[in-house]
Amino acid sequence: MGILLMARFTIQEVLRRRLFLALFLLSVLVISGYAFLLHTALSASLSGKPIVQGGVMNDVQLWVSGIVVSIPSVWLVYLISGMLTIFLAVGMISSEIEAGTFAIIVPKPLRRAEIVLGKWLGHAFILGTYTAFLFFVFLGVIFWLTGYWPDQAPGALFLLELAMLALLGLATLGSTLVSTVVNGAVIMVLFPSAPIAGLVSSVLSLMASAQGTLPSSSGTMQNITTIINLIIPTDALWHGSAYYLLPTGALNLLQSQDISSAPFNLPLLNAAPLPGPLLIWIMLYIFVLPMLAVWRFQRRDL
């Protein structure tokens, strides 16, 4: 009961913040502007002809809708949700300690573990709901204008939600270890830096493929990418989500080719699903980090 009570208070507190209201209003503006720009771009490129004719999409239209439109759109959802997670969660515990709030709350019949897990649960509920809202609204706009809907949309959303939970867990642990400013600075560096190793590896692979040679540093870059994905797996989860956004026809084509050497492992694209061992690690990551935060908070001087 203590966890649920703390989760309810956390949700009420977040909804009262002007940051969340401002972000919601900005989201509405972004979605409206996105719908207008997409409609204008499609009208200009097709001279006013609809993408869907007779309710059936040909292969070229599937590629256009699935890759050029839906993947960058959902990537924007990933970025917005990630930034919201950072701004809401970096001070989850540390800001309350700095303000002296816990000096009043902790002596009451509420365990420290219930405080941390309740706050984590409240933030997870709000961020998960917001991510799902953006995801379905963006795909709804794409479906309205193009008629395209990813066949495996639930899988893409599931991995996006895992990315949010992984980032939330990291922010929760950091909030019990260091100050709000330090925690925010560390995560603001880690989150956008996660795709860099993969981007460099992809560029090297593309350059080597164009020259007909093998990249000499591919093994080193792969090791660096793996280490980064273990530390902060958000980028790996995005790539897994992007795989499920591709049209079925595109996936069938890619699976018939050597996808390891194809130029489809880019920051916004992925030709293979998330590896099983990495998914298991991410599940442990999401579970263990809040538990470590509980352990640290129980031993922290308030």
Average pLDDT over residues 254-264: 50
Report residue 250 as tokens: 């595109």
Q: What is the pLDDT of residue 263?
A: 42
Looking up tokens 């795709």 gives 195
Q: What angle do CA 146, 142, 240 make, to 5 degrees?
A: 120
The lowest-confidence range among 57-66, 144-153, 292-301 is 57-66
Taking 50 as the threshold, does the pLDDT of residue 260 lie above it? no
Taking 80 as the threshold, does the pLDDT of residue 291 lie above it? yes
Q: What is the pLDDT of residue 259?
A: 47
Q: What is the pLDDT of residues 12-27, one digit of tens each?
A: 888 887 777 787 788 8
Q: What is the pLDDT of residue 60?
A: 60
Q: What is the pLDDT of residues 92-141, one digit of tens each?
A: 888 877 777 766 666 566 788 888 999 999 999 999 999 999 999 999 98
Average pLDDT over residues 40-55: 57
Taking 80 as the threshold, does the pLDDT of residue 58 lie above it? no
Q: What is the pLDDT of residues 73-92, one digit of tens each?
A: 899 899 989 988 998 889 88
Q: What is the pLDDT of residue 279?
A: 92
Q: What is the pLDDT of residue 160?
A: 95
Q: Measuring CA to CA, how many Å separate 59 from each of 51, 232, 251?
A: 12, 36, 12
Q: What is the pLDDT of residue 197?
A: 67
Most confident of 42-56, 62-76, 147-161, 214-228: 147-161
Say which residue, 61 or 284, is predicted with more confidence. Answer: 284
Q: What is the pLDDT of residue 247?
A: 77
Average pLDDT over residues 269-284: 86
Q: What is the pLDDT of residue 261?
A: 44
The lowest-confidence range among 111-125, 155-169, 263-277 is 263-277
Q: What is the pLDDT of residues 178-216, one digit of tens each?
A: 888 999 999 988 888 877 766 766 666 666 555 555 555
